[in-house]
Amino acid sequence: MLLALRHDITYPNDLGILNQARRQTEKIIDSLYKNRKHQLDKKPRTYKKKPRKDYLKVAKKRSPSRKERSDAIEKQLQYIKRNLSHIENLVNSGAELTSLNSVTAHRNREVLLTSTGATSVL
Query: How many domains would you assign to the chain?
Result: 1
CA–CA distances in Å: residue 78 to residues 3, 22, 73, 93, 103: 38, 10, 9, 23, 26
Domain-embedded: residue 7: no
Write down the pLDDT at residue 120. 46
- 31: containing domain: 15-116
pLDDT digits (tens, 9 = 90+) for 16-25: 889 999 999 9
Could you tell me the pLDDT band of residue 55, with boundaries at 50, 70 and 90? Answer: very high
Domain-embedded: residue 81: yes
Write down the pLDDT at residue 32. 87
- Given a cut of 50, is residue 119 above it in pLDDT? no
Domain-embedded: residue 71: yes
Domain-embedded: residue 121: no
Domain-embedded: residue 4: no
Averaged over 78-85, what is the pLDDT? 94
Averaged over 90-112, what is the pLDDT? 68
pLDDT digits (tens, 9 = 90+) for 26-35: 999 988 888 7
Domain-embedded: residue 2: no
- This model's pTM is above 0.75: no
Domain-embedded: residue 70: yes
Tally of CB atoms within 10 A around 18: 20
